[in-house]
């Protein structure tokens, strides 16, 4: 029900803006459509990868690899995979939701998403070039450790 309300409010505000300055809104909508077209191929490819992964990996396999019974080893694996993976944020949360439905543990997904957003192993050379080796390694190390701290807090609070 709240989604319908949001669509109605958005439509009303768009109509109001269009009446106020139609040319600006038309330009904004064209830019938004272009941005959407640029994101769409990435979005579809990652949805296909997620679909294949969920088709190949059964919920019991996901639970074994990333479930609560995998313990710290599973969390460490999720942290490492998150650190070396480059996925846009909006896709990471879709993937996290799919993994949770598949049986992954909440703390494991928290570590995965946190490291995915904060740690950049693949981008280390570029970051070292602009920030220096010491700052880059310190930032990435602290982000990796902080991801586990966040996961523990989430595990305690949401248990």
Answering whether pTM is above 0.85, one says no
CA distance 153 to 106: 11
- CA trace torsion 125, 127, 132, 134 (10° rounding): -90
91 pLDDT more than 80: no
Buried residues in 140-152 as b, exposed as e (16+ CB within 10 A)? beebbeebbebbe
Most confident of 10-19, 34-43, 68-77, 82-91: 10-19
| pLDDT tens figures, 18-48 | 999 989 999 999 999 998 888 888 777 767 8
CA nearest neighbour of 91 among 77, 108, 112 = 112
CA distance 109 to 62: 11
| pLDDT tens figures, 106-137 | 999 999 999 999 998 888 888 999 999 999 99
59 pLDDT more than 70: no
Domain coordinates in residue numbering, the chain? 1-56, 58-159
The separation between CA 10 and the C-alpha centre of its own chain, rounded to angstroms, equals: 25
């Amino acid at each position: 029900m709240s989604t319908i309300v949001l669509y109605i409010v958005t439509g009303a505000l768009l109509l109001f803006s269009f009446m106020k300055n139609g040319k600006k809104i038309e330009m904004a909508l064209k830019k938004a459509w272009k941005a959407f077209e640029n994101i769409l191929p990435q979005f579809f490819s990652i949805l296909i990868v997620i679909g294949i992964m969920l088709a190949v990996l059964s919920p019991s396999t996901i639970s074994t690899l990333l479930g609560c019974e995998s313990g710290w080893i599973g969390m460490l694996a999720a942290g490492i995979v998150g650190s070396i993976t480059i996925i846009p944020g909006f896709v990471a949360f879709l993937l996290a939701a799919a993994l949770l439905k598949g049986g992954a543990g909440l703390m494991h997904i928290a570590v995965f998403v946190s490291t995915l957003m904060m740690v950049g192993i693949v981008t280390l050379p570029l970051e070292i070039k602009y920030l220096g080796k010491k700052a880059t390694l310190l930032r990435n190390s602290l982000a990796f450790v902080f991801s586990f701290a966040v996961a523990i807090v989430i595990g305690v609070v949401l248990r």
